[in-house]
Amino acid sequence: MINLELGGKGVFITGSGGEIGAALALGFAGEGAKVAVVDIDKSKAEATAHRIAQQGGRAIPLACDVSRWEQVHAAVERATSELGRVDVLVNVAAAPLLRAPVEDLPLETWQFIVDVNLQGTFYCCRAVVPQMKARRWGKIVNFSSTSGRRGAQEGSSAYGASKAGVIGFTSTIARELGPHAINVNCIAPGTIATARFWAGSTRERIEAHQQTLPLRRVGTPDDLVGIVLLLSSERASYITGQTITVDGGWLGL
């Protein structure tokens, strides 16, 4: 068994009231990390923190809208105070996939999606980097999407652009922060089976999509846990500036 040596690390995970973020929070807690469960919906953050506590782990729930700098700053300050420090930042929080042709896309919809997906990632990094620099140790894992690598579905220009921006932001700050012993990487998930995914499709369409994937199945939140834990550990200390696709082989076709 590989020891990732995450015990006692302070981990700040945005969007961890949702299914993907919750799976990650439980994974870190299972490795002995102290987790700040961060979500715009306080009740969802509390539910994830409760699950961690039931399994004997330590977690604090924090309400935070990542598109608001003052809320991000306050959440990081509280996490640092209660957990001792933030060693690992995982940016999962994402806006819903709101679709409209580019000529009809409401300006406020574009701004909302970019604010959450891209600006929220920037805000969280900005808030944690000073303490990581001071300790000369830190791990940042940003979440993009295969939509940021190949482009999103028609009508999803804001989502695709924001997720592509996360990839560019990741590779740029990896160069900037590397001399301070901070690793910055990105995950680009493909189709992941969450409640939002099931609600937005039909059984027939899902089965047809699965047949286009080399692994013949859509992913689950748990499929993302291992790679995020690895990138957050010293086992991946020579990996930075990378975007790792977790999509069942779809992008390779």
How is residue 117 annotated by DSSP?
I
Question: What is the separation of C-alpha 146 from the centre of its chain, rounded to a whole number of angstroms?
Answer: 14
Degrees, nearest 5: CA angle 88-92-93: 125
CA nearest to 45, candidates 81, 83, 82, 93: 93
Catalytic residues: 159
Q: Say if CB 139 and CB 232 are below 8 A apart.
A: yes
CA–CA separation, 71 and 3 (whole Å): 34
Q: Which residues of 24-54 are buried (b: 16+ CB within 10 A; e: fewer)?
A: bbbbbbebebbbbbbbbeeebbbebbebbee
Q: Say if CB 168 and CB 241 are below 8 A apart.
A: no
Q: Tell me whether residue 241 is exposed, middle or buried, using C-beta atoms within 10 angstroms of its C-beta: 0 to 12, 13 to 18, 19 or more.
A: middle
CA nearest to 31, candidates 12, 52, 16, 48: 52
The H or E element containing residue 161 is helix 157-177
Task: Provide the β-strand partners of residue 89.
Answer: 12, 140
Structure tokens at 209: 């999509």
CA–CA separation, 133 and 111 (whole Å): 31
